[in-house]
Each structure stands twice: as C-alpha cells, then as structure tokens.
C-alpha cells in the first residue's frame, strides 16, 4: 500500500506521519496550527514527543515498530509546547508512502470543539478497524510478490481496492463535500458521503459543470477557466478565486466552494480538489448581525434626531396616502409619474433613517412600476398594488418600533398640546396690526413657527457617507453655509425632503473614485457644499439653495448620446441646455438600476417640488471640476391655511 501524503492537505483534522524513531516526515496545516509551529520547522527533524505533553502515556508511540494494526482512539489531555492546552483523541496505524517506505500515520482529533460528535466518530472508528485488518492481511500477501506475477497483479488490485475503501471511510468522516476533477472536467471516483448533502448527488464519474449546475451560457467560460488552471500560466491561488464560489442548493442551503491543487511527486497538477462546505449557519449569523446593525442605526437616529424622525413620519404618511389612493383605483388612468416620485422619495427618507424593510419594499415596487411602464398588464398592476400595501405595512411596523423607543407621545394620533401654524400666523397678524406690534409679530413667528434651514440638511451628511461606503468612495463631512436662515417647515419641508436625491447623486454620479481623484490632483475625499442665500429682488424675496460638489461634472456628450438613443433631436441645443435634461422625468445615465440610482425620478422630484412653490431649478457644471444644483423658490414667511401646501413627490 502506497499513498501520497498530499491527499491529507485539505483535511480539517490534524494528521502527522512518523518514522520508527518518531521523527515527523509530514504534517498538514491543521496539525501545524495545533502544534503552534510551521510545517517546515516540524518536518525538519523534530520528533512527535517534542511537540506535545500528554496527561498519560501513549504506549504505541514508544514502540512504533510493534504497531502493525490501527490502534484504538485514545482520549487524553495535551499541552503543546508552543501553543495552548486541549483534549484530543489519538490513533496510530502503519502506512506506506509513495516510495514504499513504512511509516506510521497519527490522526489527532481535537475533541475540545467536537465532544458533541464523539459518539458518531467512535462508531465510525470501530467500523474502520475491520478495514484496517483487511489491509494488514493484504500486506502479508504482498510478501509473495516474486513467486507468481499473475498472483501479484491480483493482489495489487485487491490492495488498491482496499486502500480506496480506507480513503473513502476517512473522507466520509468529514462533514464537507470532497471530490476531485481532472483536466477534462471529469470527476474521479473519490468523493465523500457529505457530497450527497452539499452538492445533492454522488459526483463520481460526472462532469464538474453538471454537478455544479452551471447554466449553459456559463459552461464555456468555466471550461476556459479550468484549462487555464491546468496550464498553470498563473499561480493557482490567483486563479482559484475566479471559479464558482457557491453551489445553487435546491433547499436554499448556503454552500461555499473552495479549490485546491492535487499534484504529482514531480509537482505537476493532476487534479483539482473541490471542497463544498455548508455555511448556512454562518450566512444567517451574518444576516442577523446586519439586521441588528441596521436596527441599532435606527435607534441612534431616533435618539439623536427626534425632530427629523417626526418630520419624516408626517411626510411619509402623506406620501403613503398618495400611493394608496393611486393603486386602489379599479380603473385608470394612473399617474405613474406621481407614483415614481412618491416611492422614490419615500425610499430615500427610509434609507436615511436605516428603515431597511421600507426602503427595500419601495425599491421592489419601483421595479414593478418600471415593468408596467414598458408593458402594462393587470396581473402586474395587482402585484404592484400588493407591494405598495407591503410598504405601508412595513411603515406601520416601524411606527410601532418608534412608539416603543420614543414613547407614545411621539405618535401623531396621541393628544398633544400644540398650536396650529395657521392659528399662530393669525395671532401674529393681529399683533402686527397693533401700534409697534410688527417687530413682536416677526419675533413670534421666528421663535415658534420658523426653524433654521441647516436642520433640514444636516441629516443628509449620513446619506452621503452611506452612499460613499456602498460605492467604495470617500467624502468629507457636508459643509453648510448660511444655515441660520429661518423658514417655516410646513412650507419648505416637501422641497427639502426631495434633496435626498441631490446628495445621493452628488456622491454616486459626481464624486470620483479615490485613486482617480488623487491621480488628477484632487484630494481623495470628495466635498459637497450647501449654500443658502436670500435675494430681495423685485417683485419679492427668494430663497436660493446651491448644492455644489467637486466631482467629475456632467458630460454633455453623454447626455446627447442618451437623448439620441431615445429618438430625440438635441443638435440645436447648447451644452448648458443639454445638461438641464437631467430634470426630465425618468432620465438617467445609469445603464442598470441599483438601490441608489438609475430610475431617473430623483432630479425630477426636486424640479416638481420647486415649481409647486413657484420656483425654478437649474444646474451648472464643468467637466472634471464639479457641478452645482441651483434651487430658487419664493421666500415665504407667512403660512396660509387655505393655500394647498406642496408635498414631496
């Protein structure tokens, strides 16, 4: 019986191979970790009894020559001279290496982490003892090698068969799927029983791409990757990561795939070992950790930004009412533009406060609505209606969480002691009509009805940081200039809530990747500034908002190309006119829709909200230097109850 020790490289259990005088001639990576030394140092003359101290003697180690059969597993406490303490089970058995020399293999099972599997492994070891006895009988038969050539061939065949049985028993004791494929993609007749659970079949003799259930359009690419592996034009480690990383399990288990080279004594790669591990529990733990992280962010937002949370709740309730009214219609026509704006703005606000369920449901509803824009079907509309109701359901779930954290008084349905803004405005008018009351009336509005504009913009700093993290970009904290200008929230909150699209776009579309920014002489971190100013020009006063980034700017040529692709003739327009098309409904330069951008409704929402206030929007940009969004609206300091307030869309 001869064996290549490289077969033990991928095993998770420690394996040592000793000479008769206990010198270690082989150990796998797991064994080196347990011993606390490198493989190279261990296998350069160290003896096994130099690596460990055991709580009681292991007789077989002191008389390896006398070990002719597999010894029973013995459980002892150990202390590695260069590592920690623990409890292990040890068994020894003779084995012949690829050169025909007799050595002894030591299997070390760490039961510190596996005591709950003790009974299962012990039963399997008892089954293996019969196989090892059969292998010893085959060794006796090989001593008659020179007597009869025909008998030698028969004995050799029997020996290989028994060796395969032993290897199969060893592999079957693992909890991982383990199989090998050759340069033609055929899987060898060596696999572990766990394959039936991990890759849902016994892979022996099949083609690797069939076992991994690769789609037809990916098989050719896999074959080219496989060919490159065996040609070894690049290091195996650099190419292995390009192979399929997961297996599509029918029972929704998460199966991770790893690849390891199997080489001959001459170093030539003869096969690729595939290890399939069930990491479902790990993935679920990661998802749970992510959910807990998002929930923690939500709680922090609630504690730090109670006013902004309350404002979002009020705005969201209005938006959800619009969505509900629209999708509840039995017959059209349906205002799909309004639906797009409402869902997109609601998604942006939910993402701002880490309300993940609401944001994801809005994103899915946008996808359904986009499909309906292309091809309207009644079943598709019913699906959209259901998803919109799901958004509302998640929002009410969020309200319950808000009530638990912030207290029931934060909920709009609770009785509160407050003064309606219209009544406050009426009182201010009466005070202003009195002699000398003008100043008092203005102070009354400033103190009770108006808030600094900076309070509406500061939360968007978190929006930018989150988008930067998702896109691997860097951005400095938001700079706000003249943020002490006072406004009445009920008048401008609808407009300011749409600004979430401007800040997300500034990072996603405007700010370049850090390496590129450094290469062109810019700081690695992008910068976004917001400037507020009041222009007291006839016939009235105007509030001007400038949102400026130092990114790559808007390329007019790219927008012209998009317009041409839609069949529009923009040849007569200047570059300045061309870039204003970013405010067109559903216009986007993105090729693919993401949860950050691509719908083309963000800038449109800002334009609609500004125009409802009687204002206007425009953009100025220089390629390579950045862009500035201008939003100019009338500066209104009185609240008129009979006037329909604009709502975010």
Per-residue pLDDT band for 87 (boundaries 50, 70, 90) equals confident
pLDDT of residue 533 exceeding 90: yes
- The stretches of 206-259 forming alpha helices (DSSP H) are 208-211, 216-231, 236-240
> Which of 106-115, 599-608, 617-626 has the highest mean predicted lDDT (pLDDT)?
617-626
Work out the average pLDDT over 371-391.
87
**Whether residues 76 and 198 fall in one domain:** no
Would the pLDDT of 548 be above 60? yes
What are the backbone angles phi and psi of residue 5, rounded to the nearest 5°? -65, -20
Given a contact cutoff of 8 angstroms between Cβ atoms, the answer to whether 172 and 195 are in contact is no
- The answer on pLDDT for 59 being more than 90 is no
In a domain, 31, yes or no: yes
DSSP of 475-538: BPPPEEESTT-EE-HHHHHHHHHHHHHHHHHIIIIISPPHHHHHHTT--SSB-EEEEEEEEEET
Share of the chain above pLDDT 70, in %: 76
pLDDT top residue among 504 and 168: 504
Residues 72 and 144 in one domain: yes
Say what the pTM is: 0.43
Contacts of 219 by beta carbon, 8 Å cutoff, 6+ apart? 209
What is the CATH classification number for the domain harbouring 399? 1.20.120
Measured distance CA(602)–CA(461) in Å, rounded? 18
The whole-angstrom separation of Cα 447 and Cα 486 is: 10
State residue 434's pLDDT score: 65
pLDDT score of 69 more than 80: yes
Cα 314 to Cα 252, 308, 318, 361, 421: the distances in Å are: 40, 10, 7, 19, 15
CB burial of residue 435 (10 Å; 0-12, 13-18, 19+): exposed
Contact 619, 582 (CB under 8 A): yes
Say if residue 163's pLDDT is above 80. no
User: Is the torsion defined by CA of 340, 341, 343, 347 positive or negative?
Assistant: positive
Confidence at residue 625, expressed as pLDDT on a 0 to 100 scale: 93
Q: Pick the residue with more confidence: 568 or 128?
A: 568
Assigned token pair, 428: 């201010």
3-state helix, strand, coil in the chain (%, to 5): 50, 20, 30
Q: How confident is the model at residue 309 (pLDDT cuts 50, 70, 90)?
A: confident
Confidence at 410, pLDDT banded by 50, 70, 90: very low
Q: For residues 283 and 254, is the Cβ–Cβ distance under 8 A? A: yes
- Provide CB contacts within 8 A for 427, sequence distance 6+: 444
Phi and psi for 261 in degrees, rounded to 5? Answer: -80, 145
Q: Is 113 a residue whose pLDDT tops 60?
A: no
**Rounded mean pLDDT, 331-357:** 83
246 is written with which tokens? 């997961």
| Domain-located, residue 648 | no
Write out the two tokens for 443: 């102070």
Paired residues of 93 in beta bridges: 105
Number of structural domains (the chain) is 4
∠ CA 142-148-153, rounded to 5°: 60
Same-domain check for residues 164 and 207: no
Cα(274)–Cα(481) distance, integer angstroms = 59
Q: Are residues 157 and 54 in the same domain?
A: yes
* Burial degree of 279 (CB within 10 A; 0-12, 13-18, 19+): middle
Residue 388 has pLDDT above 60, yes or no: yes
Question: How sure is the predictor about 413, in pLDDT bands with cuts at 50, 70 and 90?
Answer: very low
Boundary (domain end) residue, out of 150, 173, 196: 173
Of the ranges 233-247, 552-566, 582-596, 615-629, the best mean pLDDT one: 615-629
Name the pairing type of β-strands 528-537 and 616-622.
unpaired
Q: Where are the beta strands (DSSP E) in 364-488?
A: 451-452, 479-481, 486-487
Predicted confidence (pLDDT) at residue 217 exceeds the cutoff of 80: yes
Of the listed ranges 205-214, 286-295, 388-397, the one predicted with least confidence: 286-295
Query: 468 with 475: CB under 8 angstroms?
Result: yes
- For tokens 């504009």, the residue is 453
264-288 pLDDT, tens digit each: 888 888 899 999 988 888 888 887 7
Supply the range of the domain harboring residue 125: 1-173
Domain end (from 124, 141, 173): 173
Q: How far is CA 355 from CA 72, 344, 401, 493, 507, in A?
A: 58, 14, 11, 20, 21
Residue 439 lies in a domain: no
- How much is the pLDDT for 543? 94
**Cα–Cα dist 552/626, whole Å:** 5
Between 566 and 249, whose confidence is greater? 249
Same domain, 268 and 299: no
Q: How many CA atoms lie within 13 A of 540 on its CB side?
A: 11
Q: Say what the pLDDT of residue 208 is.
A: 92
Q: Which of 340-354, 402-416, 491-505 has the lowest mean pLDDT?
A: 402-416
For residue 527 the two structure tokens come to 């910068």
User: What is residue 189's three-state secondary structure?
Assistant: strand
User: What confidence score (pLDDT) does residue 465 get?
Assistant: 92
Number of residues assigned to the chain:
649
Q: Are strands 74-80 and 246-248 parallel, antiparallel or unpaired?
A: unpaired
Residue 72's region, left for phi above 0, alpha for psi from -120 to 50, else beta, is beta
From 129, 147, 173, give the residue that closes a domain. Answer: 173
**One domain for residues 166 and 239:** no
Is the model's pLDDT at 164 over the cut of 80? no
Please check whether residue 336 lies inside any domain of the structure.
yes
Token digits of residue 291: 């959910």
Per-residue confidence band for 416, with pLDDT thresholds at 50, 70 and 90: very low
Per-residue confidence (pLDDT) for residue 597, from 0 to 100: 53
| pLDDT at site 568 | 85
Assess if residue 4 is contained within a domain: yes
Quote the CA–CA distance of 222 and 423 in Å, as a whole number.
Answer: 72
Region 4-8 average pLDDT:
81
pLDDT for position 649 = 37
Any domain includes 483: yes
Question: Once rounded to an integer, what is the mean pLDDT over residues 561-578?
Answer: 86
Going by pLDDT thresholds of 50, 70 and 90, the confidence category of residue 61 is: confident
Q: Decide if 89 contacts 111 (C-beta within 8 A).
A: yes
Residue 245: closest CA among 236, 253, 254, 237 = 254
What is the CA 350 to chain-centroid distance, rounded? 19
649 is a domain residue = no
Mean predicted confidence (pLDDT) in 370-383: 86
Question: Which CATH number is 140's domain given?
Answer: 3.30.450.20
- Report the pLDDT value the prediction gives residue 1, as an integer from 0 to 100: 47
Please tell me what DSSP assigns to residue 69. S
Using a pLDDT cut of 90, give the percent of the chain over it.
Answer: 27
In this structure, the answer to whether residues 506 and 627 fall within a common structural domain is: yes
Q: Please report the pLDDT score of residue 602 as a whole number.
A: 74
CA distances in angstroms from 501 to 200, 328, 447, 526, 639, listed in the order given: 46, 27, 30, 17, 27
Residue 546 within a domain? yes
Helix (H) or strand (E) holding 545: strand 540-549
Query: Is the confidence at residue 41, as pLDDT, over 50?
Result: yes
In whole angstroms, give the CA distance from residue 268 to residue 249.
Answer: 33
| DSSP three-state, residue 87 | strand
- Bridge partners (DSSP) of residue 351 are none
Q: What is the pLDDT of residue 170?
A: 60
Give the tens place of pLDDT for each residue, 593-619. Answer: 454 554 445 788 999 999 999 999 999
Q: Which two tokens stand for residue 93?
A: 């058995």
Q: How far apart are CA 43 and CA 570, in angstroms?
A: 75
Say what the pLDDT of residue 222 is.
92
Do 214 and 87 lie in one domain? The reply is no
Same domain, residue pair 559 and 620: yes
Q: Which residues contact 211 (CB under 8 A, 6 or more apart)?
A: 179, 187, 199, 201, 203
Distances (CA, A) of 106 to 3, 15, 121, 125, 194: 14, 6, 16, 14, 23
Let me know whether 207 and 160 are in one domain.
Answer: no
- Do 155 and 183 fall into the same domain? no
Q: 435 and 560 in contact (C-beta within 8 Å)? A: no
Place 511 in a pLDDT band, splitting at 50, 70 and 90.
very high
Residues 552 and 584 both lie in one domain: yes
Helix (H) or strand (E) run with residue 286 in it = helix 280-304
């Amino acid at each position: 019986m001869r064996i290549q020790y490289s077969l033990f490289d991928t095993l998770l259990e420690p394996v040592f191979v000793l000479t008769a005088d206990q010198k270690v001639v082989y150990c796998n990576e797991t064994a080196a970790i347990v011993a606390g030394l490198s493989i190279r140092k261990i296998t350069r003359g160290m003896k096994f009894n130099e690596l460990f101290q055991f709580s009681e003697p292991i007789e077989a180690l002191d008389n390896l020559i006398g070990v002719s059969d597999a010894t029973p597993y013995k459980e002892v406490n150990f202390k590695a001279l260069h590592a920690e303490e623990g409890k292990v089970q040890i068994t020894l058995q003779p084995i012949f290496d690829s050169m025909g020399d007799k050595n002894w293999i030591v299997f070390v099972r760490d039961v510190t982490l596996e005591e709950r599997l003790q009974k299962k492994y012990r039963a399997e070891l008892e089954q293996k003892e019969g196989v090892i006895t059969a292998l010893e009988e085959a060794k006796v038969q090989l001593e008659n090698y020179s007597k009869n050539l025909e008998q030698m061939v028969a004995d050799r065949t029997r020996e290989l068969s028994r060796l395969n049985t032993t290897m199969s028993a060893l592999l079957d004791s693992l909890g991982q799927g383990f199989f090998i494929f050759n340069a033609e993609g055929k899987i060898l007749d060596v696999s572990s029983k766990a394959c039936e659970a991990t890759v849902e079949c016994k892979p022996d003799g099949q083609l690797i791409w069939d076992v991994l259930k690769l789609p037809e359009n990916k098989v050719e690419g896999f074959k080219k990757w496989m060919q490159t592996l065996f040609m070894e034009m690049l290091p195996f480690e650099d190419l292995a990561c390009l192979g399929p990383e997961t297996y599509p399990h029918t029972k929704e288990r998460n199966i991770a795939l790893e690849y390891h080279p199997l080489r001959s004594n001459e170093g030539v790669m003869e096969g690729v070992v595939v290890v399939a591990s069930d990491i479902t529990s790990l993935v679920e733990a990661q998802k749970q950790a992510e959910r807990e992280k998002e929930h923690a962010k939500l709680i922090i937002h609630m504690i730090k930004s109670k006013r902004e949370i309350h404002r979002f709740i009020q705005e969201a309730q209005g938006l959800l009412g619009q969505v509900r009214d629209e999708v509840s219609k039995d017959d059209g026509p349906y205002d799909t533009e309004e639906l797009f704006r409402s869902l997109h703005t609601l998604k942006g606000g939910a993402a701002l406060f880490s309300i993940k369920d609401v944001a994801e449901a809005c994103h899915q509803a946008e996808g359904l609505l986009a499909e309906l824009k292309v091809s309207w079907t009644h079943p598709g509309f019913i699906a959209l209606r259901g998803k919109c109701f799901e958004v509302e359901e998640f929002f009410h779930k969020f309200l319950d969480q808000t009530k638990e954290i912030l207290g029931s008084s934060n909920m709009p349905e609770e009785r509160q002691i407050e003064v309606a803004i219209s009544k406050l405005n009426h009182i201010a008018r009466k005070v202003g009509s009195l002699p000398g009351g003008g100043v008092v009336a203005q102070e009354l509005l400033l103190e009770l009805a108006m808030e600094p504009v900076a309070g509406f913009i500061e939360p968007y700093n978190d929006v930018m940081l989150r988008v930067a993290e998702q896109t691997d970009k860097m951005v400095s904290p938001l700079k706000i200039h003249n943020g002490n200008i006072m406004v009445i929230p009920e008048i401008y909150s609808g407009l300011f809530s749409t600004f979430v699209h401007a800040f997300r776009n500034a990072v996603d579309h405007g700010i370049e990747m850090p390496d590129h920014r450094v290469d062109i002489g810019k700081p690695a971190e992008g910068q976004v500034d917001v400037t507020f100013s009041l222009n007291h020009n006839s016939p009235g006063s105007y509030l001007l908002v400038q949102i400026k980034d130092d990114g790559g700017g808007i390329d007019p040529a790219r927008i012209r190309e998009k317009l041409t692709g839609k069949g529009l003739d923009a040849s007569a327009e200047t570059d300045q006119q061309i870039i204003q098309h970013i405010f067109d409904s559903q216009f986007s330069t993105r090729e693919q829709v993401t949860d950050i951008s691509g719908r083309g409704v963000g800038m449109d929402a800002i334009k609609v909200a500004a125009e409802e206030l009687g204002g206007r929007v425009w953009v100025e940009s220089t390629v390579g230097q950045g862009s500035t969004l201008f939003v100019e609206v009338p500066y209104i300091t009185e609240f008129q109850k009979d006037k329909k307030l604009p709502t975010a869309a």
